[in-house]
């Protein structure tokens, strides 16, 4: 008489297989992060009002703090939900090394493609791109807000947005569909989010930028490459949009890009993005 065989052992906790995150993960992360973020802003606003600060709602300091709170909250929520599927590893989120020369070449191709697309589209459409972010952050009112704005726009935004849009949203889509379809959907969402603070005529440029970031991430396998490109784009935009912001932009942007280069050369290369 045959005996029942025990079930096979579960995969080891340190398995190199990339986790298959569910489709709802980025949606739940975004909803949870926004909920917690706006709650945090409300609490902070109440504290400032109780402290005698006038016009709290339009305060540039609250705008900067609120942006950081929301961005970090969304990423934290996504990490929390991802941890329910598999033990988080930094390479799960694209934070890994890669060949520097090949990464630089692919990033350069992405920059060139975006530059040519922007040049042609701007010549044909002439999109209206009001710089509301600079005004909201009060970057042109004093040096402290100028530097704070540079940190928010060039450091916090690229890191948090790349983690959400590429490490989570694109990865979830890419596990279920072809590269360009996943990149197109990701780029469209990326463009819509950013066009809401500028102008819908800028949507194609912003969506194409999101697609370029997906392409670079897919080809290099490291999110550090797209963080560096995102920081480069925001460095130029912030420097152009502000009255005297080039020094702050170049210092912060150089530090972020330099940190990404160090990470690309020093971090373990880990498991590549599925292709």
Local confidence pLDDT in tens for the 275 residues of the chain: 445 554 444 444 444 567 889 999 999 999 999 999 999 989 888 887 887 777 766 788 888 999 999 999 999 999 999 999 888 889 999 999 999 999 999 999 999 999 999 999 988 887 666 667 777 888 888 899 999 999 999 999 999 999 999 999 999 999 999 999 999 999 999 999 987 766 778 889 999 999 999 999 999 999 999 999 999 999 999 999 898 889 999 999 999 999 999 999 999 986 544 44
Residue 201: predicted pLDDT: 82
Residues 82, 189 share a domain: no
Residues 75, 139 share a domain: no
Contacts made by residues 168-175, CB under 8 angstroms, sequence distance 24+: 168/21, 168/25, 168/26, 168/29, 168/78, 168/82, 168/93, 169/26, 170/214, 170/217, 171/21, 171/94, 171/273, 172/21, 172/22, 172/23, 172/25, 172/26, 174/218, 174/273, 174/274, 175/20, 175/21, 175/274
- Of 52, 70, 88, the residue that ends a domain is 88
Domain presence at residue 170 = yes
Residues 43, 135 share a domain: no
Residue 124: predicted pLDDT: 87
Residue 10: predicted pLDDT: 42
DSSP string of 122-154? Answer: HHHH------HHHHHHTTTT-HHHHHHHHIIII
Maximum Cα interatomic distance, the chain, rounded to a whole number of Å = 86
Residue 122: predicted pLDDT: 86
Total domains in the fold of the chain:
2
Q: Which of 158, 159, 149 is nearest to 244 (CA)?
A: 149
Residue 202: predicted pLDDT: 84
Which residue segment(s) compose the domain that 63 sits in? 22-88
Domain presence at residue 9 = no
From the number of C-beta atoms within 10 Å of its C-beta (0-12, 13-18, 19+), residue 210 rates as buried
Residue 88: predicted pLDDT: 86
pTM of the model: 0.89
pLDDT, tens only, 165-179: 999 999 999 999 999
Residues 127, 239 share a domain: yes
Residues 28, 128 share a domain: no
Residues 127, 50 share a domain: no
Residue 57: predicted pLDDT: 66
Residue 275: predicted pLDDT: 44
Residues 127, 108 share a domain: yes
Residue 197: predicted pLDDT: 66
- Cβ atoms 67, 104 nearer than 8 A: no
- Can you list the alpha helix ranges (DSSP code H) found in the chain? 24-50, 60-83, 100-125, 132-137, 143-150, 157-162, 171-174, 179-195, 203-220, 223-241, 246-266
- Cβ atoms 75, 164 nearer than 8 A: yes
Distance, CA of 104 to CA of 80 (rounded, Å): 32
Q: Which of 96, 82, 89 is nearest to 20 (CA)?
A: 82
Coil, helix or strand for 228? Answer: helix
> Which residues lie closer than 8 Å to 87 by C-beta, 6 or more apart?
13
């Amino acid at each position: 008489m045959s005996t029942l065989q025990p079930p096979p052992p579960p995969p080891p906790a340190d398995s190199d297989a990339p986790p298959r995150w569910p489709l709802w993960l980025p949606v739940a992360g975004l909803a949870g992060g926004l909920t917690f973020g706006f709650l945090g802003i409300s609490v902070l606003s109440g504290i400032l009002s109780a402290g005698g600060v006038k016009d709290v709602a339009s305060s540039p300091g609250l705008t900067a703090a609120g942006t950081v709170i929301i961005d970090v909250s969304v990423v934290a929520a996504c990490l929390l939900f991802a941890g329910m599927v598999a033990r988080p590893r930094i390479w799960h989120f694209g934070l890994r090394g890669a060949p520097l020369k090949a990464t630089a070449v692919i990033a350069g191709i992405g920059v060139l493609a975006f530059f040519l697309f922007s040049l042609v589209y701007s010549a044909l459409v002439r999109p209206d791109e009001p710089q509301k972010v600079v005004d909201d952050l009060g970057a042109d009112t004093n040096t402290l807000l100028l530097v704070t704005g540079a940190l928010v726009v060039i450091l916090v935004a690229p890191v948090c947005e790349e983690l959400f849009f590429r490490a989570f949203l694109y990865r979830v889509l890419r596990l279920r569909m072809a590269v360009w379809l996943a990149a197109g959907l990701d780029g469209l969402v990326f463009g819509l989010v950013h066009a809401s603070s500028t102008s819908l005529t800028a949507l194609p440029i912003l969506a194409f930028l999101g697609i370029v970031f997906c392409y670079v991430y897919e080809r290099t396998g490291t999110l550090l490459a797209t963080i560096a490109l995102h920081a480069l784009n925001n460095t130029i935009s912030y420097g152009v949009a502000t009255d005297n912001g080039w020094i702050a932009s170049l210092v912060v942007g150089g530090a972020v890009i330099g940190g990404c280069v160090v990470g690309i050369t020093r971090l373990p290369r880990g498991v590549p993005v599925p292709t």
